[in-house]
Amino acid sequence: MIINVFKNSQPASLVIIPVFMVAMWLLGWQTGGGLIVQNPMPLYNLVLWMMSGAPAWFPGLIGFLLTTAQVFYLNHIIIKHEVLFKNSYLPALFYMLFLTFIPQFLSFNPVIITNTFLLLALDKIFRLYKSTNPLPLVFDTCFLIGVATLFYLPAISFFLLFAISILILKTFSWRDWMVGIVGLLLPFFFAFVYYFWYDGLDELKEKFFLNNIRQLIDTGGLALQGYRITLVVITLITILAIIRIRQNFYKNATRIRNYQQVIFMFMLVALLSLAFAGSVAVYRFSIVTIPLGTMISYYFLAAKKAWISEVIFWLLIATMAVNYVSVYS
């Protein structure tokens, strides 16, 4: 029933999304992680400073507004660029679910802000396809990735997504790479000038080294806190989604196939970014929610047997409920 509401883009979807997000943030803010302040990057540190005199609930309100806007914006991107073969609110539904799937995701943390910039970058990446003037889009994409990195260091890995995407979506041009590198480095240049002017280069260096590179992707942050079931369920459903996308891949137009490849690479790069996380905090896994929600929405959109979709959907809901019950128990 819920699947059909979102699959057919019924107006009720527009009501369910904000109501659900309000409920989950009210619940998750009490059980999640509150305000994350550990080893902040420069721009995230600026946000924390701006919030220092605000009421305790204010970061939760900003987190709610950001994530709710992201839910609608992702769905807008998918529809505008026709990434899926049919318009629906399923990407919004599953992105919303995965954003709230684990209580620790509902904290005010740098990944929440980073996801906003990644969505903006993804929108511009899709616009590169057959663009007659790609250089401004290239610059904007890499500049957004650079800004995101000043909130959350592992976001630097998404320059790899840009590099792969321009190979998928357009012919090779050395100017794209040069402009992209300039766009990526410009936010770092601004940060360097600021810290140099205020004699804080040691502080800037410390922030980058405290957010050091991990050599292995560590899923222990989930498994050790009782989320093995979550990993298993989401992994199995993701595999089903990949199989379904593969089965229908060549039935789509070239443009849609290219966009779907970009989404798949987004997933791989998001997983790779976990290797750069200097922390094993659970919230860092929320960086995979954008491609994950999009890919799984394709599976449900293409499903021919409604009852199977409903069973899998309620399995997700049950797994999500277990995550929250385990926090209270």
150-199 residue pLDDT tens: 999 999 999 999 999 999 999 888 999 999 999 999 999 999 999 888 88
Nearest Cα residue to 162 out of 131, 126, 187? 126
Whole-prediction pTM: 0.93
Confidence class for position 226, pLDDT limits 50, 70, 90:
low
Counting residues of the chain whose pLDDT is more than 70, the rounded percentage is 92
Residue 20 has pLDDT above 90, yes or no: yes
Q: For residue 147, give every residue at least 6 positions away whose Cβ sits within 8 Å of its Cβ, in sequence order, or none.
A: 43, 117, 187
Residue 216 has pLDDT above 50, yes or no: no
Choose between 308 and 74: higher pLDDT: 74
Query: pLDDT (tens digit, 9 = 90+) per residue, 116-161?
Result: 999 999 999 999 998 889 999 999 999 999 999 999 999 999 999 9
| pLDDT, position 34 | 78
* Number of other residues whose CB lies within 10 A of the CB of residue 148: 27
What's the mean pLDDT in 70-90? 95
Choose between 209 and 289: higher pLDDT: 289
Residue 109 DSSP symbol: -
User: What does the alpha-carbon distance between residue 204 and residue 88 come to, in Å, rounded to a whole number?
Assistant: 44
User: What does the alpha-carbon distance between residue 272 and residue 280 come to, in Å, rounded to a whole number?
Assistant: 14
Angle between helices 134-149 and 174-197 (to 10 degrees): 40
User: What does the alpha-carbon distance between residue 81 and residue 171 come to, in Å, rounded to a whole number?
Assistant: 20
| pLDDT, position 90 | 96
Residues in the chain: 329
